[in-house]
Amino acid sequence: MGSSASRTWGGSTLDARRGVRRQRLLEVGLELLGGPEGASAVTVRSVCRHAKLTDRYFYESFADRDELLLAVYDEVAEQAQRALVEALTSTPADTPDAVARAAVRAFLGLLTDDPRKGRVLLLAPMSDPLLSQHALRLQLAFGELIRVQLAAAASSPQPAPLEQRLTASALIGALTQLFIRWLDGSLAVTPTELTDYCVRLLLTSVPLARPQTP
């Protein structure tokens, strides 16, 4: 006999129904976390109410509210990383301008296609300590992507000189602030204007990533 999880009810297995409920909770989590109130809007009660599910179904997928928060954040972060990697790998490495433009467009595309995702990645961590620590790890991953591209653009023979790491860290900080100010409306520029500036910022930073000669 099959396990209870594999038995069907109304043409659907228990595992399949659990998966549907989990996805519904994630969708509501994205809606609330990516909304104007951010992390403060996400509680077990509010999520269950919007998802039209009882807390019993919440706890079959998530141990607590924090686990849901991290799951929503990680899902959006993975989409952002995937978009960046796809943009970088599909662009010839010997064309720094095209590489920089492809990367910026890929990231901004995620933010403009669904502004909730931008608020989850960049705004929500500003008011929630748990997400703030999580966002630091994401910045390190993005910084490494930038460092690798800087190394290629600077034609550096060394694997990871100090200059590459410093420049990548500085760029992550600058780009993050630009995107945050753009998302919260305090930086009134068009996506095209923001893209063009970010590309210039990346390209003008390439000399800083070259090893200093004595």
Per-chain mean pLDDT for the chain? 89
Q: What are the tens digits of pLDDT across the range 135-177?
A: 988 888 889 889 888 888 877 656 668 889 999 999 999 999 9
What percent of the chain has pLDDT above 70? 92
Give the DSSP letter string of 20-86: HHHHHHHHHHHHHHTSTTGGGG--HHHHHHHHT--HHHHHHH-SSHHHHHHHHHHHHHHHHHHHHHH
Q: What are the tens digits of pLDDT across the range 167-191?
A: 999 999 999 999 999 999 999 999 9
Q: What are the tens digits of pLDDT across the range 43-60?
A: 999 999 999 999 999 999
Query: Two tokens at 188?
Result: 């009134």
Q: What are the tens digits of pLDDT across the range 85-101?
A: 999 889 887 788 999 99
pLDDT for the residue numbered 177: 94
Task: Walk me through the domains of the chain, giving residue ranges and CATH numbers.
Answer: 4-65 (1.10.10), 67-209 (1.10.357.10)
Q: Which residue has the higher pLDDT, 192 or 10?
A: 192
Query: With bands split at pLDDT 50, 70 and 90, how would you rate the model's confidence at 1?
Result: very low
Query: With bands split at pLDDT 50, 70 and 90, how would you rate the model's confidence at 7?
Result: low
